[in-house]
Structures are given as structure tokens and as C-alpha cells.
């Protein structure tokens, strides 16, 4: 458990998600050490210091985390998808950095929270539309990734489990959905272009697009940041994984009807109305966390977010 005014190392601190997490931690009274490939343009927020680092370099990573001697480590740095990089680069970068950061955090006895992904299940970047075994999908659903990004997250969770065992620290793997930012939700484009009749007519062999890859799920960046803080505050033993999703799809269409249209032999779908295809019941039970933001309000919301990159 990470108490108020504790020290927290955040990797990927200048990324879109990283800035919101740093901002939230500083506001909560934590001393933050931000690690990234570059330094902030204007020094960053008061209460945070920053270091430039190559997280695939074990020596650099271990030195900076050891010197910081934090109470907790939040690992957010990664190549976020396999679409604009060589697959080998995505996999190698994400796995090496996860190993280096988590192992260094474990060695100093820090509690660890890191960003895994719903992509570990294999749905978002599959070459064909993969059918889940059941809906809503939970943390126990089998992993079936075929892409380098999803496989890197499965590998990262193996590192997380090993770190918890080896160093006797708590490690939380957060599996977020497609992260959206207030006032700039990209879900709008998918909803405006969506055609349920076209969905029913498509072949399951077609590449996933238009939100099919994660079954029209999303998460507001502020809810992602609040799960990070909830995980740091919780009394977690060993390794635990938690899905991080909004509680409804962004189409405002019945979820079971969507799966009936998508698959000739649809999986069992125990949802009501437009409930999300992924359930966050475990996070609510263990962390006391529930999402607060929805596309209905946040898509056009005028919210001042951090911008110190």
C-alpha cells in the first residue's frame, strides 16, 4: 500500500497517459520521479523531477530507480501498438523495458503498478475477428494474441508475476481499453460511421476495424489515472490483474445484439443493454474503483489537462 506523500517513479511520464498520471499523483501529495526518453520542455509540474533514460538499458534503468529508492513504481512506457513499427521492435522494446523496470522496482522493495493491455486477449490487432469465449470478458478469459504488441503484454504479465514471487512485492497489471482524452474522443468517428447492417454482412475473416477489435470499448484517461492511484492505495498481495474500461460501449447499441450481428454463432453474452463487453467487477470489488466518465459527456468536454511534455 502506497501512503500519501510517498515517492513514486513513473515511466513514460511525458506520454499522453503518463502526464495525467503524474499530474494526479502530484495533486495527491506524492513526490514523483518521471522517467522518459526526453525531458519536459518547461521543467514539469512542481513536485516532480525528471530524468532522461533508455529503459531497454538495464544499467541506466536500475541506477535511476535505485537512486530514487521509491515506495512505488508505475510503469507506463511502451510502444503502444504494432501498426507503425517493426513487430520485432515493438516486442523487444516492451518486454525488455518491462523486465528492467519491474525487476529494478522489485529490488528496492517498491510496490508496482504497470500498464498491460486488453490486447493481451488478442482481439484488437488480430488478422481476423476473434470470437471471445464469453461476454462480458473478465480477467480470467484466455489470452490468444497473435500480434507482437499483445504478445509483449502477455510476456510483461509473466514478468510481473515473477517479480512478485522473487521480490515479495505487490504488482498490479492494469489492462486498459482504448484510452480517450476529454474534448478529443476518437470514438465519435467510429460511432458516426457505424452500420449494424454492414456489421452483420461482413465476414469474420475480414480485418477488424471500426471498433470491432476491442468490441467498442474505451476508457477515459482520467479513469485510467484513478485506477493507478486506487491500485497504489489498495492492499494487494502478489500479482493481480484488473481490466480498466468504461461501463458501456460507445455506440449506444445493445451489446448482445452487436455480437449476434458479428458472429453467426455468437458467444454467450450476459450483458444488459449497452453494457461494455469487458467487465470491471473485479476492480470494483478489490480496489473500490469504478469508471466515472462517459463518452456522452466527455467527448466534447472542455477540460484542462496537463501539458508539460
Task: Select from 116, 51, 127, 58 the least CA-distant residue to 87.
Answer: 127
Res 208: pLDDT: 43
Query: For the chain, what is the domain count?
Result: 1
126, part of any domain? yes
Res 304: pLDDT: 85
Domain that holds residue 104: 7-298
Task: Select from 41, 6, 24 the least CA-distant residue to 14.
Answer: 41
* pLDDT tens, the chain, 309 aa long: 676 669 999 999 999 999 999 999 999 999 999 999 999 988 889 999 999 999 999 999 999 999 999 999 999 999 998 999 999 999 999 999 999 999 999 999 999 999 999 999 999 998 888 999 999 999 999 999 999 999 999 999 999 999 999 999 999 999 999 999 999 999 988 888 777 776 765 555 554 455 688 999 999 999 999 999 999 999 999 999 999 999 999 999 999 999 998 888 999 999 999 999 999 999 999 999 999 999 999 988 888 889 998
Strands 72-75 and 7-11: parallel
306, part of any domain? no
Residue 209 CB contacts under 8 Å (≥ 6 apart), including other chains: none
pTM confidence score: 0.95
> b vs e for 197-217, b when ≥16 Cβ sit within 10 Å of the residue's Cβ?
eebeebeeeeebebbbbbbbb
141, part of any domain? yes
Give the whole-angstrom CA distance, residue 13 versus residue 286: 26
Q: What are the start-end ranges of the E strands in the chain?
A: 7-11, 31-36, 48-52, 72-75, 111-115, 171-176, 179-180, 219-220, 239-244
Give the whole-angstrom CA distance, residue 50 versus residue 29: 17
CATH assignment at residue 243? 3.40.50.720
For residue 55, give Cα distances in angstroms to 74, 114, 175: 13, 14, 21
70, part of any domain? yes
Give the whole-angstrom CA distance, residue 68 versus residue 185: 36
304, part of any domain? no
157, part of any domain? yes
Res 205: pLDDT: 55
What are the backbone angles phi and psi of residue 235, rounded to the nearest 5°? -95, 90
257, part of any domain? yes
2, part of any domain? no
Amino acid at each position: 500500500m502506497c501512503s500519501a506523500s510517498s515517492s513514486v517513479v513513473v515511466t513514460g511520464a511525458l506520454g499522453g497517459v503518463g502526464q495525467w498520471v503524474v499530474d494526479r499523483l502530484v495533486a495527491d501529495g506524492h513526490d514523483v520521479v518521471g522517467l522518459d526518453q526526453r525531458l519536459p520542455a518547461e521543467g514539469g509540474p512542481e513536485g516532480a523531477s525528471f530524468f532522461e533514460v533508455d529503459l531497454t538499458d538495464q544499467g541506466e534503468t536500475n541506477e535511476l530507480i535505485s537512486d530514487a529508492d521509491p515506495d512505488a513504481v508505475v510503469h507506463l512506457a511502451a510502444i503502444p501498438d504494432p501498426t507503425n513499427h517493426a513487430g520485432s521492435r515493438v516486442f523487444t522494446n516492451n518486454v525488455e523495458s518491462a523486465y528492467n523496470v519491474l525487476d529494478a522496482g522489485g529490488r528496492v522493495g517498491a510496490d508496482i503498478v504497470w500498464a498491460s493491455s486488453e490486447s493481451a486477449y488478442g482481439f484488437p490487432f488480430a488478422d481476423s475477428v476473434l470470437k471471445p469465449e464469453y461476454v462480458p470478458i473478465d480477467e480470467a478469459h484466455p489470452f490468444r494474441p497473435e500480434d507482437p504488441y499483445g504478445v509483449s503484454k502477455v510476456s510483461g504479465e509473466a514478468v510481473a508475476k515473477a517479480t512478485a514471487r522473487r521480490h515479495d512485492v505487490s504488482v498490479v497489471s492494469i489492462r486498459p481499453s482504448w484510452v480517450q482524452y476529454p474534448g478529443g474522443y476518437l470514438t465519435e468517428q467510429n460511432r458516426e460511421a457505424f452500420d449494424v447492417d454492414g456489421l452483420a454482412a461482413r465476414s469474420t475473416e475480414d480485418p477488424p476495424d471500426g471498433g470491432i477489435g476491442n468490441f467498442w470499448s474505451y476508457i477515459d484517461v482520467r479513469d485510467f489515472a484513478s485506477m493507478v492511484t486506487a491500485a497504489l492505495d489498495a492492499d494487494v498481495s502478489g500479482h493481480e490483474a484488473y481490466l480498466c474500461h468504461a461501463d458501456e460501449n460507445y455506440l449506444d447499441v445493445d451489446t448482445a445484439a452487436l455480437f449476434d450481428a458479428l458472429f453467426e454463432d455468437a458467444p454467450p453474452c450476459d450483458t444488459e443493454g449497452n453494457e461494455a463487453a469487458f467487465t470491471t467487477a473485479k476492480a470494483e470489488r478489490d480496489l473500490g474503483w469504478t469508471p466515472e466518465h462517459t463518452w456522452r459527456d466527455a467527448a466534447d468536454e472542455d477540460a484542462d489537462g496537463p501539458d508539460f511534455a
